[in-house]
Structure 1
Amino acid sequence: MKIIGITLLIGIVGFFIGKFIKHKSLYPFMPFKHDFRKRRDTFLKTMELMKRFGAKIIVETGTSREGLRGAKSNGAATIVFGKWTKENGAFMHSVDISEESVKNAQEEVDRQGLEKFVQIHQSDSLAFLENFNEKVDLLYLDSYDYSSDVEVQKKSQKHHLEEFKRIEGQLHDTTIVLIDDCDLPNGGKGKLVIAYMLERGWKILIESYQVLLVRENLILNETS
């Protein structure tokens, strides 16, 4: 019985150690309890670059409809980058076509005290981006939900490519582009837009679940 008890205890301890190792927080920037898992490293690098280049305007397509509750599932980027704007004198625009998503995201923005630094727009992202007239320092693409349906996948990929084309004229030499949900079947959301960008002097800095891209001159500085 004693051996069984010790074995059980070791199993329980191992389970919690495994959970702890997999837990990837943004602490101390965000409370430790929030697990950003597959997005943590790309979020950290993105914020490092924004700090280095003095980013002031962030544009996100696809708002965080679950607030911080969605840290592990969808990244809660509206809140993460929203907090960054508050701490660094910047401003964030987040656009989503869904009334419910906008409502839920706005509630979390208000709850976190970010309403002076984050504006959430209910609009088709293509129309919003086409009429956006400020220079963009970080472009975060995460709209048009992906699925196992191949036709939906193609539509999502085309949508993200079109989003980039609509805002391309407002990007500059130190603009950072982060694309979510790329490590998914058939190339994920970024398949077409990444190919388009690589043909136009952009380079991949990090390629994982999210893909982080910068201008070629910046990636040379990263490696020099």
Structure 2
Amino acid sequence: TTGIDNAFGEVLPALENTEFIAAEALINATIRTGELMLLVSMDHVDDGMTDDCIDLSLGRASGVPMLGTDEAFLPGQTLARDSSFDNAIVTNTAVVDGVAVGSPITATIPIQILDAAIEFEILDGAVRLEQHEDGLASGVFAGGLDIATIINVVANEGVAQELKDLLSSVLYVVADLAPDESGECQQLSITFEYTATPVYLFAEE
């Protein structure tokens, strides 16, 4: 489809009504504790605002972040690159007026559901990075979730039966990507909007 879709957003109200998951709050909590810190970076850059050939990558950082009184990340702190996360890199893309877009990207995002730490693989994704004059940045990261994989992972993680039944009944209804031969979509679009703070990374050994 043209533009940015987020069918997963249609599922969140139903999930949150079960009291099993408050997705936005949980994701924000994992960011503040350092469990989920995504790194969007540009490499091989001559001009950070306009350059017709750069690499755009999506990775993860590790460490305990320093937060301000508003619980936002403090700029300029130093973190380590998470070596257990396979960086997704798009080569030979461009940055125009401070905006860079890269695809396709595949990445794994952990979601906590009760006591189960579930990792969802986002397929055929795209990332957009928009730099601002104050040194901060914002953007979106979007892609598809394979529904059969979601249901299988949840089933194997000991999640409550009520939630399993809800996912099985709802996900295929709102699915909007990767139609099979019968025309039934097998993936669910998901979109994350983010704001980003500049950080330094420890040199890799």
Common topology (TM > 0.5): no
Structure ranking higher on relative contact order (CA contacts 8 Å, 6+ apart): 2
- Larger proportion of helix: 1
- Larger proportion of strand: 2
